[in-house]
Structure 1
Amino acid sequence: MVVFTGIYIFVYALIGCVYGVTVDLTVQPSNTIVENQIIGLNCSFERSRSTSILDPLFFWYKMVNGKKQEIGKQQGSYTEVSDKTRMAILDGVLVIHEVKRSDSGVYECEVSIVDDHPVKTTDSRNVIVFYAPSIVLPITLMVGDVLEIVCTNSNAAYPEPVLEIYKNDKAIASTNGTGTELSYTANVMVSDAGDYFCRASNEAGTKDSQTKHLSVQFIHTPSIVLTPMVGGVLEIVCTSNAYPEPALEIYMNGKGIANGTGTELNYTANVKASDAGDYFCRASNEAGTKYSQTKHLSVQYWCDSSSKVNDGKMTMLLAGVSILYGIFLLVLPVCFWLINCLQYRKERRKGM
């Protein structure tokens, strides 16, 4: 490298600044590139002397805070770059892998050929990295809350992109023309639950943000249905539409008799006199607590062993019934004999 530098200085002092070599810097696929893609900056040149045979020396610069900063150089098989993990130079082409937004800026290529004129010629291009917009929205809201979605793409693309907010793959808001920020607000309803993303579009293409899911917590007033069934069975069904799944409980006369989690709770029982009363259902989750209407159950029944008559009174009642039945059996034949006698006497009188 010492010999090379000495030759460079000697030839430069010898030939001065006579212009002849032309340099053209092109960007592939374009000077507007999408984040994480590969970009190639091709520094092509044309010699002015047919006798020029020495390898050109390529210098690559990037403007940082208004100052030119060297990021790489190459001559023949010799290559040096500032970021070896993402950059490479081959035959005057600077290749940048996995382009980041920080790669945006003005790039300059400088070509130096010691056996041609001039010693140095440069060309520059502005590279703009277009990256995905971001979307900000809450993860969980309740019905009645205010939903605010913000889509941003600040200084991310040139020209400024059109921004759109999508819900379940359907556009619900768009900038009026171009811009770097889009906001959307609404009072939350159950139907607002879904998947949201933001889209930015310009001449460079289209880029979508990450998709975010919005859950809407709610609870509707539960309903209760009392259904008497064949065989003296009572079925009670409590239902509630809610998210997340609610805790359900069935009450009789203010006392819980059944509970569970889900959108439906069933309770069955053999009907007794004590089942008469007022029934209602309660549903609760993170969105609150709701109560169904109260329904009254009346139970009609015959007095039996399940009633509130005690055993002593029931025994007396059965004994009295037995006595009356015995008397009835004794009196019945006598009644038939008397009837026959009266009929006989009546017929005799008619014969006389």
Structure 2
Amino acid sequence: MKMLALPLLITLLHSPICLSVTVSSSKPKVEVHEHTDAVLSCEFRTEKDQNPRIEWKKKGKGVTFVYFNNKFTGHYAGRAKIEGATLTIHAVTQKDSGEYRCEVTASEDHVNLGEAIVTLNVLVPPHVPSCEVPGSVFVGVGLELLCKDKLSVPPATYRWYKDNRALTATADTLYSIDTSKGSLNFKSVSKLDSGMYRCESSNSVGAPKSCVAQELKVSDYPVNTAILIAGAAGFTVLVLFCCICVCICRRRGCCRKSKKTKSTKSYHPSPPPPPPIRNLKHYKQTQSFMI
């Protein structure tokens, strides 16, 4: 057995070892604040090729080049640098977030292509949210106030204030708050809900931001409006009542049309025909005529 293992070991020692280019990243997930520098690490090792080709690509809706043919492309030109295969992007924004791929091609190696993937997430502090507060509403209506900050990363959470006092929804309150959507919902507003409302957005990146407080007025329906509503309701009830009466009448046959009687005309007999004229051959003169 030892005699068979020795030739095999000698053969392995003398045979060439097939190595390939290897690519890796010491930090595959990178999180940085907006307007700071992002370092996307990429380390490689080749078998023979001392001058491999290095490329960086970004994956989005499609694949775009970041570094190609020894130069930066698109909006990365003038705001990025490369050292070895490590990429540094200056003053990153939310548009720079995404998945990046480092590719190293060593044409002289047996397996000549290697790649590493780095994910960049740009953190954005809260921005001033947009707040939707109507100027005035009537007592008893349902109402929803909305607040939204579309730019913060991670997504913001929201808090509503009335007259500079934070609102907290409980089982006893007549409103509810969705802190993730930024909505404040009233089932039925009353005059006590009048006041100055504002919303605040916050996340783990920066200081909270608030919109300008806006006034909400809750008032009774005006007298004229109440009269119009009552009149419209009464008219609707009257129309429905008439329709029901007509339907009942038709079912009972009260609304059937009576048949028209034939009109009688007075009869006048035609006069008798004149007596026929007798034949002149049979006419005899009975009297003499003198002139």
Q: TM-score, normalised by structure 2?
A: 0.55
Structure 1 residues 159 and 149: CA distance shift in structure 2, 3 A = same
> How big is the shift at 1:185?
1.8
Does the CA-based 8 Å contact 2:53-2:106 persist in structure 1?
yes
Superposition map of 1:88-127 within 5 A: 94=12, 108=14
Greater RCO (Cα-Cα under 8 Å, separation 6 or more): 2
Match of 1:295 among 214, 218, 242: 214
Letter in structure 2 aligned against 1:250: W
Distance 2:6 2:24 in 1: 34
Aligned equivalent of 1:212: 118
SS in 2 for 1:243: coil
Aligned position for 1:307? none
Match of residue 35 from structure 2: 144
Distance 2:84 2:221 in 1: 80
Superposed displacement of residue 93, structure 1: 5.1
1:174/1:182 contact within 8 Å kept? no
Matches within 5 A, 1:1-352: 78-80=4-6, 94=12, 108=14, 129-134=20-25, 136=27, 139-154=30-45, 157-168=48-59, 169-174=63-68, 176=70, 180-203=84-107, 204=109, 205-209=112-116, 211-218=117-124, 219-227=126-134, 228=137, 231-241=140-150, 242-258=152-168, 259-288=177-206, 289-301=208-220
The separation in 2 between residues aligned to 1:273 and 1:158, in whole angstroms, is 80
Cα distance in 2 for partners of 1:292, 1:273 equals 23
Quote the Cα distance in structure 2 between the aligned partners of 1:271 and 1:300: 10
Deviation for aligned residue 1:139:
2.5
**Unpaired segments of 5 or more residues in structure 1?**
1-73, 82-87, 95-106, 110-124, 304-352
Q: 1:144: how far off? A: 2.1
Shift of 1:141: 1.7
Structure 2 Cα separation of the partners of residues 215 and 281 of structure 1: 27
Structure 2 alignment gaps of length 5 or more: 72-81, 169-176, 223-291
Residue type matched to 2:118 in 1? K
Letter in 1 for 2:179: T
SS at match of 1:144: coil
CA deviations on 1:281-324 (whole Å, 9 max, x unpaired) are 00111122111222112233379xxxxxxxxxxxxxxxxxxxxx
Structure 2 counterpart of 1:217, one-letter code: L
Q: Contact between 2:163 and 2:197, CA under 8 Å: does it hold in 1?
A: yes
How many pairs were matched up? 193
Deviates more, 1:191-200 or 1:252-261: 252-261
Residue 264 (structure 1) shift: 3.2
The percentage of counterpart residues that share the same residue type is 19
Give the CA deviation at 1:173: 1.9
Judged with a 3 Å threshold, the aligned counterparts in structure 2 of structure 1 residues 268 and 108 are, in CA distance, closer, same or farther, namely: same
Tell me the distance in 1 between the aligned counterparts of 2:140 and 2:190.
12
**Where does residue 231 of structure 2 map in the other structure?**
none
Runs of 4+ in 1 over 6 A off after TM superposition: none
Segment drifting more, 278-287 vs 266-275 = 266-275
Amino acid paired to 1:251: Y
SS in structure 2 at match of 1:270:
coil
Distance 1:156 1:267 in 2: 66
Report the TM-score, using the length of structure 1 for normalisation.
0.46
Q: 2: CA distance between counterparts of 1:130 and 1:80? A: 31
Higher strand share: 1
> What is the root-mean-square deviation in Å for CA atoms of aligned residues?
3.6
